Structure 1
Amino acid sequence: MSDSQPHILDRWQIVEPSTAAITFSTTETSPVARWVLDLPSEEPAALARLQSLQTDQQAARIALNDVLERLEQLTSEAAAGESFSIQPDQAAPEEELLDAIAELRGEVSFAPGRPSKLKQIGGEFQAGTDRLFRLLSHLAWVETRHESVFLGRTVVGWSGDTHTLWREDSSSIQQTLHQRNLKLALSTRILYLRILMMSTQAAAKISLLLGSSAGVGSVMVLPIAWRYVNQVLRELDRHRNMIN
């Protein structure tokens, strides 16, 4: 799993048309955004797998809704004159956020050869936004498989038109599974866009934390916010992995 993106988003891959092996009649030569889900062959297990992914997606939406509230708590503490430093019980996203703010303010000194955290954050932001642009600007290609056996494939055009190819002997249940996978894939693209939108809102909150230093490091506020939002989502992944 990528260190800068939650795992449900990593299912989208940008590939060349020849690699995707699209069998529809098309003159498309630019890369496509591909989502492939290989389900268990037994229907109950396949349904459970889809439900699990849908639950992950819903949990990510809820976590995104908590981002501004968590930042509001930090800004309230700063406004009240409370110690603006990392506490022993500080959650990992807040801890990394305060580290980044400290570096932005020039409050962190580095040993020779130690890389700047801000440089890493800037690189992650660039890679993440590039991925978002490619994901939303290219043809979307969604495929469902049963134990690696092709079941259905849908290509979604820029205007929202869809073309679906089915396995000849696919049942109505199998077609329903593919339709649910298609819905999951497309809503995950929207989730990716929401991450960027939430990052812009979080950036405004982080500017308040920076105070008079905001002007100096304004170019880094959005990348720091992007990092923080993704850290919140990764925190969710860690908690889920501990339970499972």
Structure 2
Amino acid sequence: MSHPEQELRVLKHSLRSRLFHWSLILGFLPAAITGFMLWLKPGSEEFLNISMKIHIIGAVIFTIATVVYTLFSFDRVVAFFRLIWTWDDRDIGWMLVGGGYPQKMLLGKDVVVPPMDKLNSGQKIFGICLSIGGLLLIVTGWLLYSFIPLAPKAFIYGADLVHMYFGVFLGLFMFVHIFLGIYNWSEFKSMFGNGTQLLSEVEHHNPLYAARKLEPAVHPEADEPIGAASYKTE
């Protein structure tokens, strides 16, 4: 017989954050895949034209999602930037052992990993790269789309190089992010479900977050929080 406290779930990702994440997948992922197609040119001219159209549609979704989320969830954007740029000795320790992933995946061994907040050090790095690289992709992409006939060739050439190199880098980084997200299945389900995770899972993977910033808990079958006065809220 299970104990109620073992069934508690906590809100890990708000609806706004989940909608933004889903929009990034609908926008960035098709743009990244077609970007590789446009770079490698594996097919006919018709195939590349279709790839370009999909690339532009993905870019539109990616851009709109970024702008809308920034405007209407500015407090969460600020909190996200504060978190990804906050580093201490725990992050250095996490990086030195790779978060324990190489040892677990390749050797089947568990190693001691420093306690993490809502994001681990690898996710912080990805967040920094995606923030800077994503902004550069949006700016250079729309410059290339709008000003090729008007801007100096040297400027367009530079914008194209920035767009290509950052696109390849972030595209490869994104596939690593997706792989590790699926590997951490409970985290993956929380992003694509109702945003909650089992309290025990959060305490294991994000102990600092569990200790400081938990939102109200819910049972797996419940749609509404059940209330947990002992948990701190964001």
TM-score (norm 1): 0.27
If each structure's helix is expressed as a fraction of its own residues, which one has the higher value? 2
If each structure's strand is expressed as a fraction of its own residues, which one has the higher value? 1
